[in-house]
């Protein structure tokens, strides 16, 4: 038996990370791009965990299939935790990586700092058709600096420095998977999911 699971994302990088993490489990992975065009979930939670749960529940109900959703973002200490759950739209409704990073630099300048401690956080939530919920979180600590380095990654990665002074944008995909907040959340989620699949698919 194989279980169909919808990954609630149209972001191919995220989809790929989840596919790699679930490799070897008895699952058929579908993305939102594989199924009918559904409306977006209203992500009005106050935490990453709430938003991941809202998205997973919404797409589970819409598709009638088990679903995994994630929500992630950056929290900068000198900005009182901003952009937080607004990371994707920090610079406004039509924001993208370039405008979000500009806004980040402006806010650092307004706060009178050139760097600040910061965290990337990720929440993942699996919801099954019977309502069973398995959630996991991951975090990576670092420093946001107002100098960009590296060509890889996405989002705030060129400004996010790890302890060894490399930015997230200077890592290979494999290095990022092993160090990132999403990688950590996946490593917590997968064994729990595996246990459930082994019990329910027998
Ligand atoms: P969402 O989880 O798709 O809602 O997007 C969260 C936003 O947080 C992204 O658009 C990025 O701006 C930021 N973000 C989340 N994870 C990362 C990451 O690994 N690197 C850089 N930015 C990230």
Say whether pLDDT at 202 is over 70.
no
Cβ contacts of 121 within 8 Å, gap of 6 or more: 48, 72, 73, 74, 75, 137, 138, 139, 181
User: Tell me, what CATH number does 19's domain have?
Assistant: 3.90.950.10
Is 74 near ligand 1, meaning CB less than 6 Å away? Answer: yes
Q: How confident is the model over 104-152, as pLDDT tens digits?
A: 999 999 999 999 999 999 999 999 999 999 999 999 999 999 999 999 9
Contact 59, 67 (CB under 8 A): yes
- pLDDT, position 27: 93
Looking at residue 190, its pLDDT comes to 94
Q: Are 119 and 75 in contact (CB under 8 A)?
A: yes
Contact between 67 and 5 under an 8 Å Cβ cutoff? The reply is yes
**Segment 20-59, tens digit of pLDDT:** 889 889 999 998 888 777 788 888 899 999 999 999 999 9
How many structural domains does the chain have? 1
- Per-residue pLDDT, averaged over 163-182, amounts to 90
C-alpha distances (whole Å) from 55 to each of 69, 107, 122 are 6, 29, 14
> Of 123, 122, 119, 124, which Cα lies nearest the Cα of 168?
119
Q: Is the pTM of this model over 0.95?
A: no
pLDDT over threshold 90, residue 200 = no
Range of the domain at 159: 3-200
**pLDDT at 171 > cutoff 90:** yes
138 lines ligand 1 (CB under 6 A): no
Q: Is 137 in the pocket of ligand 1 (CB under 6 A)?
A: no
Alpha helices per DSSP H over 35-152: 48-63, 97-110
Q: What's the mean per-residue pLDDT of the chain? A: 92
55 Cα to the center of ligand 1, angstroms: 15
Amino acid 101: pLDDT = 98
Q: Whose CA is nearest to atom 21 of ligand 1?
A: 155
**In the chain, what percentage of residues exceed pLDDT 70?**
100
Q: What is the pLDDT of residue 169?
A: 96
């Amino acid at each position: 038996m194989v279980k169909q699971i919808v990954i609630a994302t149209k972001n191919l990088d995220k989809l790929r990370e989840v596919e790699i993490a679930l490799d070897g489990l008895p699952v058929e992975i579908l993305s939102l791009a594989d199924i009918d065009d559904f409306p977006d979930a209203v992500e009005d939670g106050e935490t990453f965990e709430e938003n991941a749960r809202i998205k997973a529940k919404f797409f589970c109900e819409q598709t009638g299939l088990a679903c995994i959703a994630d929500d992630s973002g950056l929290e900068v200490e000198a900005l009182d935790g901003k952009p937080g759950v607004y990371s994707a739209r920090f610079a406004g409704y039509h924001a993208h990586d370039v405008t979000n990073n500009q806004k980040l630099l402006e806010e650092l300048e307004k706060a009178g700092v050139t760097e600040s401690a910061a965290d990337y956080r990720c929440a993942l939530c699996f919801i099954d058709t019977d309502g069973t919920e398995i959630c996991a979180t991951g975090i990576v600590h670092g420093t946001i600096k107002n100098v960009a380095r590296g060509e890889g990654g996405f989002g705030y990665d060129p400004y996010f420095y790890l302890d060894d002074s490399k930015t997230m944008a200077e890592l290979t995909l494999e290095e990022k998977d092993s160090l990132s907040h999403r990688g950590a959340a996946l490593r917590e989620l997968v064994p729990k999911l595996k246990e459930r699949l082994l019990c329910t698919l027998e």
